[in-house]
Amino acid sequence: MERFDTQALTGLILAGGRGSRMGGVDKGLQKFQGIPLTLHALMRLQGQCTEVLINANRNLGAYESFGVPVWPDSLNDFAGPLAGFLVGLEHCQTPYLMTVPCDSPRFPLDLGERLGQALLAQEADIAMAVGAETNDTGSTLWRTQPVFCLLRTSLLESLVKYSHGGGRKIDAWTAQHRTVSVPFDQPDDDPLAFANVNTLADLHALEDRA
């Protein structure tokens, strides 16, 4: 089977949210183990992609100091992750774009390769990670992680049409295309790989577990 070429992949860090559940602070600049969350994501992506972009809507100078291109949403009013997908596809110079959120500092170092291999094997347009989450009772659930997404950049026209028609839901748009789900369930996969931080309490708890 054809091997997925990570040199054909651009990474996009989604840091454009309001941070409302974190008191309105810019989540991507909050520190995890002494390093801004977005910088954690950047360091984990740099070995997986030929280029990395950041989608941010505030404190652009702070994000630009990380040394990669920073692009705000082209849609108004913090339109959500799909607005980040859109700006990433608009500025991507490679055949594939992979998105990751700024608030999951332990995502897999082989994310791009595994999503890409599954996309090629299934001749899909989109590949999404499936990862473990722990619910309030301590049980482990396996959920699709739609913001950990690998896209063919040829989907730009489709996303422009959907977004300009008022669409904002990731699952409603991806349902229009051939999508493959990729479980990260191997014995040596990090059970906290897709743990995300929505509040400062979440951030401190993840630091303690790490």
Structure confidence by residue, pLDDT tens digits, 26-53: 999 999 999 999 999 999 999 899 999 9
Domain contains 80:
yes
C-alpha distance from residue 91 to each of 12, 71, 134 (Å): 10, 9, 35
Specify the CATH number for the domain of residue 36: 3.90.550.10
Indicate whether 134 pLDDT > 80. no
Task: Identify the DSSP state of 104.
Answer: -
Residue 147 lies in a domain: yes
Structural domain of 73: 6-209
- Residue 165 resides in a domain: yes
Comparing 93 with 19, the larger pLDDT belongs to 93
Whether 43 maps to a domain, the answer reads yes
Whether pLDDT at 11 is above 70: yes
Predicted local confidence at residue 78, as pLDDT: 58
Q: What is the largest CA-CA distance in the chain?
A: 48
Among the listed residues 109, 112, 115, 133, the one whose alpha carbon sits nearest the alpha carbon of residue 198: 133
Q: Are 62 and 38 in contact (CB under 8 A)?
A: no
Q: How many domains does the chain have?
A: 1
Contact 96, 124 (CB under 8 A): no
More confident position, 24 or 68? 68
23 has a pLDDT exceeding 70: no
Tokens of 111: 């994310």
Judge whether 203 lies within some domain.
yes
Per residue in 74-131, pLDDT (tens digit) is: 877 656 899 999 999 999 999 999 999 999 999 999 999 999 999 999 999 999 999 9
**Inside any domain, residue 50:** yes
Burial class (CB in 10 A: 0-12, 13-18, 19+), 184: buried
pLDDT value of residue 20: 58
Q: What percentage of residues in the chain have a pLDDT greater than 90? A: 71
SS3 97: strand
Mean pLDDT within 172-195: 95
Residue 1 lies in a domain: no
Report the chain's mean pLDDT, rounded to a whole number. Answer: 91
pLDDT at 207: 86
pLDDT digits (tens, 9 = 90+) for 197-208: 888 888 888 888
Residue with tokens 């992979």: 98
pLDDT bracket for residue 173 (50, 70, 90): very high
